[in-house]
Structure 1
């Protein structure tokens, strides 16, 4: 299978006029063996924890937020339009004078559109096609500035902002970034105010469920919020900081699907994802449930919402001494499980192991 990063590496290999000897930044970075060429000079920016873990395992420096200027900036822009152009603006902002910005996009993800965006803001660009992708690049030449007004509009298009009549903060790119997810709203409606002790929100997003917990469950002692998307935490911090409570949420940038190492919580709430990109994958939710069973103390309880067709009940019955379906309506179901009785180490496709 071909990927835009393969096209990006190819373009570097066949264009010796592009200098790769200075400092290099890779935005929305992905692991690739060829990155070893930049050892000691490469900074990888990645906010999605599974990809960040792969980069770190390969020995690369990974940052969620990047500062400073670089001689070469590589970027794999997001296919969503506002994020795509914001990625180009961010790459420009980190580009040193005389440096090269190089982007790669799959043909099915808007490659020609993104190429036109870069041409519009930078003027002269160069491009090539390879691996079912397009690679295009431009130089930040002294005395020939890129269009500042357009760059600023692109930055603002992906900026954090108030949503829902100013009640919450969010940003494009997060799950249901500008509205309350229907499933989460149903779960919040059925969460009992008696939830107490040490509580966790798995897959917290911008913080809707955590906000509900802090506002309605007054016997909570601690609240830990977990998400694989590092972009969510500043929004969640602002939202939860507005709740009149002494309990402060503790954020954890973690891929829940890799499991949970210690038992500490009295309750876990979650609306687990069930897509990997555009493809449905119920295995993700099963891994969330396995992680919750590992994370809960004896007697602890799990509250979750899921689409009606997702097959979670069997694992819940196996992993907890009690499982109840609280409600099933409008395409969703709210499930409650209590007292974990097994500690699944992981869930594999087509097979569960304990």
Structure 2
């Protein structure tokens, strides 16, 4: 078995603290499951991790925070792995309280560089007796017995709405803890939207890759309506559960046309498109990681119709232009400043 993430290794080092029925919140590597033969419930918000989960006896896997496998009082030990976003930790702790049986044990594990020390205040808000029981694998492990539980976990209570406006067109966008740019418009996305008004995508079925809250697809269709153009369908795809939930809600409120899909990269995408538009991620946890986008660019040509356009915005320091040129075709910079650049490339026939 390949090396597990540090937080997963830290749990294995402290497996003697696991009692009764186990629930894992924030699974990022399915290799952990085979190392814990007692079974339990494993929750991940990553579509690729969920798809890769092996069929192991005693284990149930759940995708995201609205999976039917999430049942009240189903766990005696709940392990919460620290997420990147502090707001998402509160989200996971609330779910932990919903899953917890009476007198359940809470274990919170996170890397020091990801801010576990700063997260302790949040942990103690629901588990005042929490104590640090280990510091290993660059992680801290906190444990509490009998923490604050809740009878309900209602996703809609956590969902917020904010407006995004560009080129005089406004759309309402859903947000959940942990989603990219939750609660405020991302400046790179706004630059991208401006170029979409000045130089529209080719007409036809399009794809918004790494769609986040669904703002790009909804805004394009709202702009088309404002210009008296019949909206073209735009599918939306993202790897994260919260993004898929938010994009679906945003599409419904905007009456946008297109499918919303959970997919690790383009694995679940079968259609060829007239255009693919994206503001792709470049972080894995706290690290800069362009692997996902570089893999996407290599695959994107197969999902573009001949002459179809890729429209991508990225931080200007990221080395995407050469990869786009190699995988799609000649590249044009439609807009650029010190922070962001919008690229356009058309698939060569």
Indicate the SS of the match to 1:205.
Answer: coil
When residues 4 and 157 of structure 1 are mapped into structure 2, their CA distance, relative to the original with a 3 A threshold, is farther
Answer yes or no: is 1:7 the counterpart of 2:10. yes
Shift of 1:281: 3.1
- Among 225, 232, 236, which residue is 1:225 paired with? 236
Corresponding residue for 1:251? 260
Answer yes or no: is 1:313 the counterpart of 2:321. yes
Shift of 1:10: 1.8
When residues 275 and 136 of structure 1 are mapped into structure 2, their CA distance, relative to the original with a 3 A threshold, is closer
Counterpart-to-counterpart distance in 2, 1:276 and 1:293: 24
- Among 206, 212, 216, which residue is 2:213 paired with? 206
Ranges in structure 2 where 5+ consecutive residues have no aligned partner: 165-170
Counterpart-to-counterpart distance in 2, 1:85 and 1:260: 30
When residues 261 and 121 of structure 1 are mapped into structure 2, their CA distance, relative to the original with a 3 A threshold, is closer
Shift of 1:227: 0.7
Shift of 1:279: 2.5
User: Alpha-carbon deviations, 1:68-115, whole Å to 9, x = none?
Assistant: 122222211325433223322221210112332222122333434444
Larger Cα-atom Rg = 1
Counterpart-to-counterpart distance in 2, 1:297 and 1:181: 29
Ranges in structure 1 where 5+ consecutive residues have no aligned partner: 342-354
Shift of 1:213: 1.7
**Does the 8 Å contact 1:158/1:171 carry over to 2?**
no
Corresponding residue for 2:334? 326
Shift of 1:232: 1.1
Indicate the SS of the match to 1:164.
Answer: strand
What is the TM-score with the length of structure 2 in the denominator?
Answer: 0.80
User: Alpha-carbon deviations, 1:269-325, whole Å to 9, x = none?
Assistant: 111222223322344332222222121122211111122233322233333344322
What is the TM-score with the length of structure 1 in the denominator?
Answer: 0.79
Corresponding residue for 1:42? 40
**Does the 8 Å contact 1:201/1:226 carry over to 2?**
yes
User: Alpha-carbon deviations, 1:243-276, whole Å to 9, x = none?
Assistant: 255x2x21111121x6677451111111122222
Shift of 1:339: 2.5
- Among 145, 148, 159, which residue is 1:146 paired with? 148
When residues 241 and 4 of structure 1 are mapped into structure 2, their CA distance, relative to the original with a 3 A threshold, is same
Give 1:158-237 correspondences, 5 Å limit: 159-164=158-163, 167-191=172-196, 192-193=199-200, 195-217=202-224, 218-237=229-248
